[in-house]
């Protein structure tokens, strides 16, 4: 095994969190950092063209190609489970939606961890520090940060009509989902710059590429953490990994920072002997720490994809239905960086309550001027739109568990979607609410006709079953190395993201979220990494 060198910090994963940490920690010229990434550089053209997510997801060049286990809640279906395997991680293949979540989310984290520094009013300045908002800075937004936020560069008449219809059933219009209360309906803001995807590699790595205290190694697969045990306790001293056909060891003299995401981080911990003892023993892995929560507490947003045929409306189905239409779309993007090729996967959003008893919105809509049978298949030949709705606070919990001691074998991902009575009830209520919106006067002139799941599903039980047929993940896995109090048996890290009972090791990514945020979790992960960098630098003083 060859030495990759000795560094103050070794960061595993150059994804959303890893890029932020690499930037912030190397601001001190006396600090050395190694950033290890399993994927390649983010030089694939489709990463940067917004609609290119279609070619990045389920593509081995940019995606880990995970799949979930067959799920009873989805009537036996298995889903693709994209995770970015490239510089920028999932920020290079995601939907580009800028979403912080609700104040309630972070106040709940503070309660669960016993640490008031996770409250909304405490993390808002951290969000603002990284942000470069198109409207400039104010009490809610930041200007001059690395994380660019822009308005979308297109409008759709059918989406405007859906927004009007939502207002008619009691969902107010909003122009900003990111003030702590995201109730309302409006167009999403996106992480783009002049119609081009803005990923964390561009935002946080490009500007530091010339720093002599940062080394980046791509195409390197982590096998395990090296953890030494002495009478004084356990300490993580570095990382064993492969790259370029060779075996490497990188030593970390201060800390190893695990930023491999909600799937990769628990897998690496388990391969390193930190996890449920029975699982590790099953695969002959020596138990370093019997930590029951590693890989547990998996939460995700399951979106129920209702689709409606329409008349007299322009949709992407018809615009891209022939070569002439495709050529026009391509020319508009080439000339102005606008139009359908600048589209995030979802353009219009809405946040509302499944029933009035909910203290804050518990539903999120992603509305699109298109329809298709499933991801990767052609658009339908008729004009249509899709109104996807997800439960923001699912009660179901899944898990991520190794299936082998081989570091190259994918873990088993069991999501347990719609496995609780509450989640099934919310799914049925969501479908009923969508039907109410579509039946509102604002959409009447388009004569919307439901064809997914179909009007034959009427009762709550029938609708919950139908949801299992048409639902898919929005790719928001979190929680598998959750923060918690010392007496929480399923907590993996403390409120400063330090792995319990192992010195020199933190987990810094979406896996530390104790509960899922109300919306797309990419920007909250940036906030987590920014906060972690502050904690790490403060610990050195």
Selection from 15, 10, 11 nearest residue 64 by Cα: 15
Selection from 208, 175, 152, 191 nearest residue 21 by Cα: 208
Adjacent-strand bridge partners of 256 = 10, 505
SS3 197: strand
Catalytic annotation on 476? yes
SS3 434: helix
48, 141, 366, 476: which is the annotated catalytic residue?
Answer: 476
SS3 512: helix
Task: Determine phi and psi for 130, rounding to 5 degrees.
Answer: -85, -15
The secondary structure element, H or E, covering residue 161 is helix 157-168
Q: Find all residues with CB under 8 Å of 118, minimum gap 6, and list them.
A: 106, 109, 110, 495
CA separation (Å) from 354 to 58, 359, 393, 430, 434?
A: 32, 11, 11, 6, 10
Helices (H) and strands (E) in the chain, counts: 14, 25
- Token duo for residue 385: 């739109």
Q: How far apart are CA 279 and CA 281, in angstroms?
A: 6
Selection from 368, 474, 386, 362 nearest residue 152 by Cα: 368
- Token duo for residue 264: 């990769």
Q: Find all residues with CB under 8 Å of 47, minimum gap 6, and list them.
A: 56, 62, 86, 88, 92, 93, 197, 199
Residues annotated as part of the active site: 476
């Amino acid at each position: 095994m060859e030495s990759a060198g000795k560094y103050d910090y070794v960061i595993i994963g150059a994804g959303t969190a890893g890029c932020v940490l690499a930037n912030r920690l190397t601001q001190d010229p006396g600090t050395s950092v190694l950033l290890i990434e399993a994927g390649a550089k983010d030089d694939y053209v489709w990463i940067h063209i917004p609609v290119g997510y279609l070619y990045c997801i389920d593509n081995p060049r940019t995606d880990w190609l995970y799949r979930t286990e067959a799920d009873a809640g989805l009537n036996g279906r298995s889903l693709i489970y994209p995770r970015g395997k490239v510089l920028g991680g999932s920020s290079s293949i995601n939907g580009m939606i800028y979403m912080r979540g609700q104040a309630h989310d972070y106040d709940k984290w503070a309660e669960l961890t016993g640490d008031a520094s996770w409250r909304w009013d405490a993390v808002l300045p951290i969000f603002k520090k990284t942000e470069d908002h198109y409207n400039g800075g104010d009490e809610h937004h930041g200007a001059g940060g690395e994380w660019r936020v822009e308005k979308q560069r297109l409008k759709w008449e059918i989406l405007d009509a859906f927004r009007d219809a939502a207002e008619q059933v009691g969902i107010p219009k909003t122009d900003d989902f990111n003030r702590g209360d995201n109730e309302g309906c409006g167009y999403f803001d996106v992480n783009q710059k002049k119609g081009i995807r803005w990923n964390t590699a561009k935002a946080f790595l490009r500007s530091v590429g010339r720093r002599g205290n940062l080394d980046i190694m791509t195409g390197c697969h982590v096998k395990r953490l090296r953890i030494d045990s002495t009478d004084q306790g356990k300490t993580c001293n570095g990382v064993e990994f492969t790259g370029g056909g060779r075996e490497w060891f990188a030593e970390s003299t201060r800390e190893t920072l695990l930023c491999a995401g909600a799937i990769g981080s628990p897998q690496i911990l388990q391969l390193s002997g930190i996890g449920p003892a029975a699982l590790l023993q099953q695969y002959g892995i020596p138990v370093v720490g019997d930590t029951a929560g590693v890989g547990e507490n998996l939460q995700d947003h399951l979106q129920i994809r209702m689709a409606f045929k329409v008349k007299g409306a322009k949709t992407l189905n018809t615009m891209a239905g022939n070569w002439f239409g495709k050529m026009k779309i391509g020319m508009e993007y080439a000339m102005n960086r606008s139009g359908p090729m600048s589209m995030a996967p979802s353009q219009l959003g809405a946040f509302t309550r499944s029933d009035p008893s909910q203290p804050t919105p518990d539903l999120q809509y992603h509305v699109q001027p298109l329809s298709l049978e499933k991801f990767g298949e052609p658009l339908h030949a008729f004009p249509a739109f899709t109104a996807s709705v997800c439960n923001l606070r699912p009660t179901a919990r899944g898990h991520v568990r190794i299936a082998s001691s081989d570091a190259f074998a994918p873990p088993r991902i069991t999501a347990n979607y719609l496995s609780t009575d509450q989640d099934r009830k919310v799914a049925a209520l969501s479908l009923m609410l969508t039907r109410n919106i579509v039946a509102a006067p604002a959409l009447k002139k388009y004569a919307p006709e439901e064809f997914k799941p179909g009007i034959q599903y009427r009762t709550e039980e029938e609708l919950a079953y139908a949801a299992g047929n048409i639902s898919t993940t929005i790719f928001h896995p979190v929680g598998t190395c959750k923060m918690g109090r010392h007496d929480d048996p399923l907590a993996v890290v403390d409120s400063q993201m330090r792995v319990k009972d192992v010195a020199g090791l933190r987990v810094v990514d979406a896996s530390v979220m104790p509960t899922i945020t109300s919306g797309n979790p990419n920007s909250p992960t940036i906030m987590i990494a920014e906060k972690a960098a502050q904690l790490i630098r403060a610990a050195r003083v």
